[in-house]
């Protein structure tokens, strides 16, 4: 690996959310893989990572993406491979935020927020976090979502360990668009 925690974190996110077979590992139904198995597979695929470097990635800088338990590791959220994270549905705050960019607004107006290749739409508890999510792609636009209304209408919400809110989709009527 690079020894650069940000780059290591991005590569591990790719493996543990989207493509474990890229380094020949398999996730269990909840997204876990043994740390020993993961590190051996990384070394075999020309991306050796020390336990210490993995610890730095898990501790995270500005990004906490992974959790460890009983010698295993998984991504906390963001998967496209089907996993059951075992999160309990939870009542959301009245308003949640979604950061996006202007070029997606027409699609969002027409279809609402869709999870795309991920298993869930990602929502933030505050507008600054949502702005940072949108800024990954350009000038951010922050949308407000009537989470309380959706919840009353029966839609399920989950909160990942790192605080990201997850829901299957957000139909357009629950979104305040600019």
Scanning the structure block, which residue is given the tokens 């350009």?
Answer: 138
Cβ nearer to ligand HQG, comparing 43 with 140: 140
The verdict on 178 binding ligand HQG (CB under 6 A) reads no
* Residue ranges in 4-23 that form contacts with ligand HQG under rule CB under 6 A: 13
10: buried, middle or exposed (CB in 10 Å: 19+, 13-18, 0-12)? Answer: middle
Q: Which of 3, 24, 107, 138 binds ligand HQG (CB under 6 A)?
A: 107
Q: How far apart are CA 77 and CA 178, in angstroms?
A: 28
The verdict on 118 binding ligand HQG (CB under 6 A) reads yes
The torsion region of residue 3 among left (phi > 0), alpha (psi -120 to 50) and beta comes to left
Q: Which of 16, 38, 83, 133 binds ligand HQG (CB under 6 A)?
A: 133
Tell me how far, at minimum, the Cβ of 44 lies from ligand HQG, in Å: 25
* Per-residue contact string for residues 148-177; x = within reach of ligand HQG by CB under 6 A: ----------------x-------------
Alpha helices in the chain (DSSP H): 5-13, 35-44, 51-59, 105-111, 127-135, 147-152
Cβ nearer to ligand HQG, comparing 39 with 133: 133
Q: Which of 81, 104, 140, 156 binds ligand HQG (CB under 6 A)?
A: 104
Q: How far apart are CA 20 and CA 73, in angstroms?
A: 12
Backbone phi and psi for residue 110, each to the nearest 5 degrees, phi listed first? -75, -40
3-state helix, strand, coil in the chain (%, to 5): 35, 20, 45
Q: Which stretch binds ligand HQG (CB under 6 A): 19-27, 34-42, 84-92, 109-117?
A: 109-117
* Residue ranges in 40-69 that form contacts with ligand HQG under rule CB under 6 A: 63, 65
CA 75 from centre of chain: 8
The verdict on 116 binding ligand HQG (CB under 6 A) reads yes
| Residues of this chain that bind ligand HQG (CB under 6 A) | 13, 63, 65, 78, 100, 104, 107-108, 111, 113-114, 116, 118, 122, 133, 137, 164
């Amino acid at each position: 690996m690079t020894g650069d925690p940000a780059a290591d974190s991005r590569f591990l996110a790719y493996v543990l959310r989207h493509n474990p077979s890229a380094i020949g590992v398999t996730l269990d139904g909840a997204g876990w893989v043994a740390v020993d198995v993961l590190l051996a597979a990384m070394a075999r695929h020309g991306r050796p990572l020390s336990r210490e470097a993995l610890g730095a990635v898990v501790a995270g800088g500005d990004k906490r993406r992974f959790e460890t338990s009983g010698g295993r590791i998984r991504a906390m959220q963001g998967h496209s491979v089907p996993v059951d994270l075992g999160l309990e549905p939870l009542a959301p705050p009245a308003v949640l935020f979604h950061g996006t960019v202007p070029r997606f607004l027409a699609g969002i107006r027409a279809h609402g927020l869709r999870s795309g290749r991920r298993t869930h739409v990602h929502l933030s508890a505050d507008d600054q976090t949502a702005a940072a999510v949108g800024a990954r792609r350009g000038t951010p636009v922050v949308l407000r979502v009537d989470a309380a209304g959706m919840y009353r209408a029966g839609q399920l919400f989950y909160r990942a360990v790192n605080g990201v809110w997850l829901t299957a989709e957000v139909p357009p009527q629950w979104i305040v668009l600019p």
